[in-house]
Structure 1
């Protein structure tokens, strides 16, 4: 193999590798190792602690799916919070919903925001929108201090290591419940079912103990471990599978569609078993 290659070791025995044209930026921030690289296959890519966070080519899948199922389930999502998500992709998708009056981003590492704006402008381009408030702060503590404030909360975190580890604990989900309004809902990325079965089972168990409606749904993201990715949704009132497709507005999307809204909740048997 010629050239330079970047490998993410996803388990002790498996990884994903991508050819790199050049390194755009590398830095050990206060919280994690940040690498921004240019690749021929996926465009510019952001790695944090050696893990793929996003790429210009396939980012739309993740960002559309972490946002639109919840925002098309809640009838009036005026005040929305994103915990993490410093690349700005979730914010970009949230702003496609006219009912959203304010979107707040709380990202612990300001360097992620800074270099996403510089090297991922197609993803981070809406972070300066007047409907957006960006806070460089600890998302866990922001949730703790927020009570009955948000209609929808999205946890757009890295994998459960380092600064993101507390974002996968039961106490965090309880805090989210209290930060949401009486009819609020949240969604979190919950990794992949091929390598992280125990994590998915734990998150489903914890969220089910707190939220009356708890659902798992999936999407296909080629640069993420195994390509199959899960999202866990917890809702106080509204069921995403009960949404009338005719009420879902036409959005400028590449992956999410009204029909896919329901289809995403239809799980392969081995994944469905993890939700029980």
Structure 2
């Protein structure tokens, strides 16, 4: 019997993948977690019916959310990751030798446990002495830590359920306060083809908290439409102020990110510019 998993999108479309078997299905106090073995894409993580990653293509998301802000900052020694329970973003952050400490705050311990079990190559950073892994509410952690980090990465799910508080003006102002005087942040910000309203509100709120706000894009085949956007917000640096471009060639095992990607990822199609109504802040 053929087994298929389908994620339905909001515009009467979806994404269907043939699967071999269900490896794990369970529910934490926050969300439902499924680990599926697919025919062609390796193992796949699904949260509340939404695809989070596939083994075959996870690098495209994790490299873009991590290496763009890490390249933009001239000396990112302390890095905070909110979410990212699979460990992929931490893995990429810790490829930068300049990092002295990476604090990762994930609210759902089940995601961490099952990532270690089923995705050890993604969760490899959990064994790093530079990683301080905390199982708690990232919103509260941000509130309690001021002027502490060079880079903050918001590796959250969509703005529903446990991630909903991470998409608000109040939260972005707390992120600003959590950063050092020249700190910057990145966050996933949905597909411009499908989620115009969410994107417009997110960037409006972020613009009330940071003097520099930009969007960059990448191609993530397991997310809706394949075109995915990321927010870049900074207290001081623009993407091209003091980027560590020459460092990129020294990063181990990059499958997506490179110098040319960094130089072009902030160029936006006209329809995306219209969504943002950019004013070159």
TM-score class normalised by the smaller sequence: over 0.9
- SS, match of residue 121 in structure 1: coil
In structure 1, C-alpha distance between the alignment counterparts of 2:275 and 2:120, rounded to whole Å: 37
The answer to whether structure 1 residue 274 and structure 2 residue 275 are counterparts is yes
In structure 2, C-alpha distance between the alignment counterparts of 1:93 and 1:229, rounded to whole Å: 18
**Runs (4+) of structure 1 moved beyond 2 Å?**
241-249
Q: Which moved more, 1:210-219 or 1:244-253?
A: 244-253
- SS, match of residue 210 in structure 1: coil
CA offsets per residue over residues 13-35 of structure 1, 9 Å max, x none?
11111111110100011100000
In structure 1, C-alpha distance between the alignment counterparts of 2:77 and 2:240, rounded to whole Å: 21
Displacement of 1:243 after TM fit?
Answer: 4.4
Tell me which residue corresponds to 2:61. 62
The answer to whether structure 1 residue 263 and structure 2 residue 261 are counterparts is no
In structure 1, C-alpha distance between the alignment counterparts of 2:70 and 2:131, rounded to whole Å: 16
In structure 2, C-alpha distance between the alignment counterparts of 1:162 and 1:6, rounded to whole Å: 22
Tell me which residue corresponds to 1:24. 23
Tell me which residue corresponds to 1:207. 206
CA offsets per residue over residues 247-272 of structure 1, 9 Å max, x none?
33312211110111021001111012
Displacement of 1:104 after TM fit?
Answer: 0.8
Displacement of 1:246 after TM fit?
Answer: 4.7
Tell me which residue corresponds to 1:172. 171
Q: CA RMSD in A?
A: 1.2
TM-score w.r.t. structure 2 length? 0.95
In structure 1, C-alpha distance between the alignment counterparts of 2:79 and 2:169, rounded to whole Å: 21
In structure 1, C-alpha distance between the alignment counterparts of 2:60 and 2:11, rounded to whole Å: 27
Tell me which residue corresponds to 1:160. 159
- Contact 2:73 / 2:243 at 8 angstroms: preserved in 1? no
CA offsets per residue over residues 4-52 of structure 1, 9 Å max, x none?
1111112151111111111010001110000001101211010000001
Tell me which residue corresponds to 2:105. 106
Displacement of 1:125 after TM fit?
Answer: 1.0
Tell me which residue corresponds to 2:86. 87
- Contact 1:245 / 1:258 at 8 angstroms: preserved in 2? no
- SS, match of residue 18 in structure 1: strand
- SS, match of residue 260 in structure 2: helix
The answer to whether structure 1 residue 134 and structure 2 residue 133 are counterparts is yes
- SS, match of residue 163 in structure 2: helix
- Contact 1:27 / 1:33 at 8 angstroms: preserved in 2? yes
In structure 2, C-alpha distance between the alignment counterparts of 1:192 and 1:206, rounded to whole Å: 18
TM-score w.r.t. structure 1 length? 0.97
How many aligned residue pairs are there? 275
In structure 2, C-alpha distance between the alignment counterparts of 1:245 and 1:89, rounded to whole Å: 21
Tell me which residue corresponds to 1:239. 238
Displacement of 1:203 after TM fit?
Answer: 1.1
Tell me which residue corresponds to 2:117. 118
Tell me which residue corresponds to 1:96. 95
In structure 1, C-alpha distance between the alignment counterparts of 2:70 and 2:243, rounded to whole Å: 13
Displacement of 1:228 after TM fit?
Answer: 0.5
Displacement of 1:244 after TM fit?
Answer: 5.4
* Structure 2 unaligned spans of 5+: none
Q: Which moved more, 1:84-93 or 1:241-250?
A: 241-250
* Structure 1 unaligned spans of 5+: none
